[in-house]
Chains A and B, each alone.
Chain A
Amino acid sequence: MSDVLLEIEDYSGGFRSETGDFLPVLHGVSYRLKTGVMTAVVGESGSGKSLVALSILGIQPPAFERSGGRILFRGTDLLSLDERGMRRIRGAEISMVFQDARAALNPVFTVGRQLADVWQLQHGGGRSAAMKQAIEALRRVSIPEPERRARQYPHEFSGGMAQRAMIAMASLICQPSLLILDEPTTGLDVTIQSDIMELIVELSRTRGLTTCLITHDLGVVAETCDEVVVMNAGRVVEIGSVEAIFTTPRDLYTQRLLSASQLVEAA
């Protein structure tokens, strides 16, 4: 049990419409994230993979209603925590990288200042020390000229650069034990995508981070992850190691997903 960092048990729920109808979208989702392991959660749009990830941090949409299940992080149920308890987890223990990094950066502050703000929030200390940490973090994610880049605003960053900055914030500045990446490479072009994935793999290996990668890109999964959770229509249909999933997929949906992505790769 000790090597399981986060365990999702039989998590179910759905959306309540304004007329009061209940539309279930998650049906008893269960999977585990093991300490130090990179786990991919794959599935098509609407399969509920992001919704589960948002629930881990307690930021699921307000219309979502849970009908059952638990999310255990180091033995405590995150769903039973109040807002204060959740705030201690966010950033410090679990952090998240979004799909659109430029939307996740505040347009009126320099990138360096935003990283420094979060550093001060999580670790305290003075302004200039925090700024040093911010610049160091930018350097660590291979942003050229980090001193100059730290003084720039988000609109002066390209999408790939902004995603690097967000990864620096979520992993190096927050220093969490669990990093959730919600389709971190979806909006980027292909060459940048592989750079970013390399960076993520490198950071999680060297820092012993537990990583949860939410994606629909099976090519990325095959190259980088250890474990795979396949989701479809609000259910977990298959869990296994990357080798097992890619060589001997048992579930029909997994097989279809694989053949579809191989068609894309061949084209």
Chain B
Amino acid sequence: MTVVLGSSKVVPRRRRRPRSYWALRIGIAVLVFYAAVALISFVWTPYDPLTPGIGDGYDAPSWAFPLGTDRLGSDMLSRLMVGARYDLGIAFVAVLIALTVGTTIGTLAGYFGGKLDTAVMRAVEIFQAFPGLLFAMLVVQAVGAGIVNVILVLSFVGIPDYLRLARAEIHAKRDWQYAEAARLAGNLPWRVAFRYLLPNSVGPLLAFTSINAAFAALVTASLGFLGLGLGPNVPEWGNMIARGQDGVMTGQWWVSFFPGLAILGLTGGLYLLGDALSDITDPRRRGR
């Protein structure tokens, strides 16, 4: 009759909590900052980002141009702010599509197994034999640049990872007793898979989503850098780094440096967030 509260649960939570929480705070803060910049860019930027000749060209950072101007004299800060829309937006939409499609197929394959599972997994293995970036480059080259194409290619490259992760998670948990108990209570199979088992895998999936978003942002920038992304004059960060390459040699470091810093900040924040999320979504470590 006595209520025995396990003392073991208190100790690990105390040890884990501080680390997860600072990582979570920084990760969220970074993401909110980028999202805010992207939103603000719709209503206000210091100068028009697409107009050249505002400065003289290669103006060093100053009070008038906090981050300097590029070769054509466009304001770097304005261009960076608008760039946040592209890099953040593309990564977000691509990850959302990959997460939804990959998790759904992976859950079905993992739960029902059999021929569907075998076929899907073989297809994934063949697909994953290609490096993701190379595949994205080839496809964009073939179908043409443009924001929709980049998003579709990025989500397509992401799907196999979500699929494998969800499939492994569900496959391992399918025969656990609580799944059996859910089936015994009279639940339909798809309900057991999506309502009972999938929530148990939210932690790993969320963590991976964050890391995958960082990868998507990086590939977006890489495509831009290689001139395969969104067209040459779009102020996307990868594009901007490519445009500033010449300046690096002659001492105008800011043109490439600040977009690079923006990418570094975004991916770093997403990695921190992913790590923290995987800790926090575990209910054994959830506070009250």
- Judge: A and B partners, yes or no: yes
Chain A, range 39-78, C-beta contacts under 8 Å to B: 57, 59
Question: Of residues 146 to 162 in A, which have CB atoms within 8 Å of B's CB atoms?
Answer: 153, 155-156, 158, 160-161
**A109 on interface, CB distance cutoff 8 Å:** yes
Asked if A103 meets B283 with Cβ closer than 8 Å, knowing A142-B1, A156-B5, A174-B185, the reply is no
Assess whether B126 is interfacial by the CB under 8 Å rule. Answer: no
Q: Of B3, B185, B202, which contacts A90 at CB under 8 A? A: B185
Q: Is the CB–CB distance between A118 and B5 below 8 Å?
A: no
Contact A104 B177 (CB under 8 A): yes
Contact pattern, A 98-113, Cβ under 8 Å of B = 1, otherwise 0: 1010011111110000
Q: Any chain B CB within 8 A of the CB of A23?
A: no
Please tell me which one of the listed residues B5, B176, B200 contacts residue A108 in the complex, with CB atoms under 8 A apart.
B200
Q: Which of B265-288 contact A (CB under 8 A)?
A: 283-284, 286
User: Which among A57, A105, A117, A142 is the interface contact of B184 at CB below 8 angstroms?
Assistant: A57
User: Assuming A122-B186, A195-B1, is B181 touching A155 (CB within 8 A)?
Assistant: no
Q: Is A244 in contact with chain B by the CB < 8 A criterion? A: no
Once A98-B177, A100-B177, A195-B1 are accepted as A-B contacts, the answer to whether A155 and B283 lie under 8 Å apart by CB is yes
Contact partner of B283 (CB less than 8 A), chosen from A108, A142, A144, A195, is A108
Q: A90-B186, A122-B186, A195-B1 are in contact. Are A106 and B200 (CB under 8 A)?
A: yes
Inter-chain contact B3/A158, CB cutoff 8 Å? yes
Complex: chain B residue closest to A145, CB-CB: B3
| Cβ A144 vs Cβ B178 within 8 A | no
**Whole-angstrom distance between the Cβ of A25 and the nearest chain B Cβ:** 20
B177 contacts which of A87, A103, A109, A155 (Cβ < 8 Å)?
A103
- With a cutoff of 8 Å between Cβ atoms, the chain B residues found around residue A161 in the complex are 3-4
Query: In the complex the two chains form, is A158's CB within 8 Å of B185's CB?
Result: no
| Interface of chain B, main secondary structure | helix
| Contact call B184/A95, Cβ cutoff below 8 A | yes
Q: Closest approach, in angstroms, between the C-beta of A124 and any C-beta of chain B? A: 12
- In the assembled complex, the CB of B31 is this many whole angstroms from the nearest CB of chain A, namely 24
Tier of interface size on chain B: 20 to 34
A129 at the binding interface (Cβ < 8 Å): no
Q: How far is the CA of A73 from the CA of B251 in the complex (A)?
A: 86
Known: A98-B177, A104-B180, A108-B199. A155 touches B9 (CB 8 A): yes
Contact A59 B180 (CB under 8 A): yes
Interchain CB contact under 8 A, B5 and A90: no
Contact A158 B4 (CB under 8 A): yes
Q: Is B54 an interface residue (CB 8 A)?
A: no
B6: shortest Cβ distance to chain A, in Å? Answer: 7
Contact of A91 among B1, B178, B185, B286 (CB under 8 A): B185
Docked pose: A104 CA to B177 CA in angstroms = 5
B243 close to chain A: CB less than 8 A = no
B1 near A104: Cβ-Cβ < 8 Å: no
Contact of A236 with B by CB under 8 A: no
What is the CA–CA distance of A117 and B286 in the complex, to the nearest angstrom?
22
- Could you mark each residue 74-101 of chain A with 1 if its beta carbon is under 8 Å from any beta carbon of chain B, else 0? 0000000000000110111001101010
20 A-B residue pairs with CB within 8 Å: A88-B186, A90-B183, A90-B186, A91-B184, A98-B180, A103-B177, A104-B177, A104-B180, A106-B182, A106-B196, A106-B199, A106-B200, A107-B200, A107-B284, A122-B186, A144-B3, A153-B284, A158-B5, A161-B4, A169-B185
Chain A residues engaging chain B, CB cutoff 8 angstroms: 57, 59, 87-88, 90-92, 95-96, 98, 100, 103-109, 117-118, 121-122, 142, 144, 153, 155-156, 158, 160-161, 166, 169, 174, 195
